[in-house]
Amino acid sequence: MTNRTTDDISSLAADIASRYTTDTIVILGKGPSAEEVHSRVFEGNLTIGINDAERIHPMDISIFYEDWVAESVQAEGMRSQAYVTSTDLMAPGRRIVKLPFQPLSNDEEDLILLRFQNREEIAIEEAIFLTALEVARTVAESKGRTQTVYMVGFDFTPASGHAKSATTTFAPDLDSRRAAGIAMQEYVLRNALYTLEDSELSVHHVGTKDFSSLGPKELNEQHNVSVTAPAQPTVRAAAPETRGVEVTAEITTNHFGDFDRLEKLVRAAHEAGADWVKVQKRDVASFYTREQLAQPYRSPFGSTFGEYRNQLELDHEGFRFLDDLCADLGIGWFASVLDQPSFEFMLDLNVPMIKLPSTISEHKQYLSHVAQRYTGSLVLSTGMTDHRYEEWVLETFKKQDKLYLLHCNSAYPTPDEHTNVGVVRHYTELAKEHPQIVPGYSSHDFGWMASALAVAAGARMVEKHVKLGNTEWAHFDAVAVDLNSDDFTEYVAAIRKAEVLVGSTQKQITDSEHHKYQVPSSR
């Protein structure tokens, strides 16, 4: 391979391959069996996605040739580090390699395989997995050793549709020509696997075909995913369809471990118009010292601080209850995850998003662990930090699909003169340089004014603490909005109005304005 486009592919493959110490590559399609493969299979391995398979899991490289895929990945926020495409994709901050497209026809299968075997030119084949395998071969050449490749989600069963998590309104209708093409690709793959025997790639098709090396269950077991754990995501509730600024009702632990109270909080937040509810998760035994846990503490849940704190934590049953409720209502949920045991707990749930709160901003070892292990959307609040923490965050959190950077002040309540909403404007500017950043504001002040100003400064997510009534022993009662009142509904309404008032940055003549005094016509 010596032409410019193949050199571009070689450069791209070498750059991305250098980030990984493993010799494993996962090529991901959107067949329904992809749902059965646990997310841990992708972690720490180079990933190549076909079309918009990045909807299932963030990719290192995505390959596609159709315009609807470009629309799909742009609408979902670009979850790949690089794109190989024949389209005019615009992806600021991402690396793009443009290749010609080679269609598949009934009388050219041997020519496709001839190109694949002789590697005289590289193109995006209609059987896109061939291009993905070519990229994998280039990675093997870059590393100078054999790469193990798992092909996941290539079921070649058009009637079964896509993996649920890859459902997209942009996908074209499955007409007879497209269905025939998918069926033909199964035979192309069979021949490609034969071609690659004794090559620099050890390729394993994951599925139930007669040429499959192993099934999803065996692949999960190879990556230390317990066979007793559900292979499909435990979580049903996905990221919500938001209207613009994402409004989070921050429950923290104000559910007190009471499922009935939790349901009332979630339903009230949903009725008020929130897009997300957020709870907390911490491992009580390791987060606090034994001395702290043993100290006397007056609450309805026992006589020690340990009994109080343990009551406030949701277990697997609690999170299943929360997830089912949110899925039924159509509202998203995520959790602040305060320590590594809790992080591992949330990984097993396969949650759509997690948060790292301000209170652990000095726990750099744990934060670095999350940055390396977690590639999904992540919310990070920046209370009690300055520009030095910001610089560390930008250097450390590079793998995440989205990084919601939420300005906040960690005083409860925050004095007006300390809200410093202008920081949100700074984060908005940062997002131009770092496209994965979503600027936001976590409100610990009274009312809606600061949050509305944050929207004007560019915030795309705002958080507000919520509660159900007052208690004599629970924290954050002073700043949390009582869902028994209309205050949170008014808060959400203020955010929506702020969105309307901010409008567009494009100066234009609107339908509501006209000239009162007309220019006299010349005669």
Per residue, the 3-state secondary structure of 460-502, as one string, reads: CEEEEEEECCCCCCCCCCCCCEECCCCHHHHHHHHHHHHHHHH
Region label for 286, one of left (φ > 0), alpha (ψ between -120 and 50) or beta (otherwise): alpha
Residue bearing tokens 């949920």 = 333
pLDDT at 351: 87
pLDDT at 117: 82
Are 441 and 407 spatial neighbours (Cβ–Cβ below 8 Å)?
yes
| CA–CA distance, 487 with 489 (Å, rounded to integer) | 5
Strand partners, 113: none
Calculate Rg over the CA atoms of the chain: 26
Are 406 and 381 spatial neighbours (Cβ–Cβ below 8 Å)?
yes
| CA–CA distance, 300 with 50 (Å, rounded to integer) | 54
Domains of the chain by start residue, with CATH: 4-222 (3.90.1480), 246-502 (3.20.20.70)
Q: Which residue, among 335, 397, 331, 324, has the nearest Cα to 364 in the 3D structure?
A: 397
| CA–CA distance, 216 with 68 (Å, rounded to integer) | 29
| CA–CA distance, 79 with 165 (Å, rounded to integer) | 14
| CA–CA distance, 347 with 368 (Å, rounded to integer) | 16
Region label for 453, one of left (φ > 0), alpha (ψ between -120 and 50) or beta (otherwise): alpha
| CA–CA distance, 326 with 214 (Å, rounded to integer) | 35
Q: How far apart are the first and last CA of the chain?
A: 72
Are 426 and 420 spatial neighbours (Cβ–Cβ below 8 Å)?
no
pLDDT at 107: 55
H helices within 313-356, ranges in order? Answer: 316-329, 340-349
Full-prediction pTM beyond 0.75? no
Cα 40 vs. chain centroid, distance in angstroms? Answer: 15
* Host H or E run for residue 356: strand 353-356
* Host H or E run for residue 378: strand 377-381
Ordered per-residue pLDDT tens for the chain, 523 residues:
445 566 788 999 899 988 888 999 999 999 989 988 888 888 889 999 999 999 888 899 999 999 999 988 887 678 898 999 999 998 888 899 999 998 876 555 667 777 788 876 788 998 999 999 999 999 999 999 999 999 999 998 876 667 666 666 666 665 555 666 676 788 889 888 988 998 999 999 999 999 999 999 999 888 875 544 444 456 878 777 766 899 999 999 999 999 999 999 999 999 999 999 999 999 999 999 999 999 989 899 999 999 999 999 999 999 999 999 999 999 999 999 999 999 999 988 888 899 999 999 999 999 999 999 998 899 999 999 999 999 999 999 998 989 999 999 999 899 999 999 999 999 999 999 999 999 999 999 999 999 999 999 999 999 999 999 988 776 656 789 999 999 999 999 999 999 999 998 889 888 888 777 878 776 5
Task: Identify the three-state secondary structure at position 147.
Answer: strand
Q: Give the DSSP letter of residue 518.
A: P
Beta-carbon contacts of 425 under 8 Å, excluding residues fewer than 6 positions away, are 457, 458
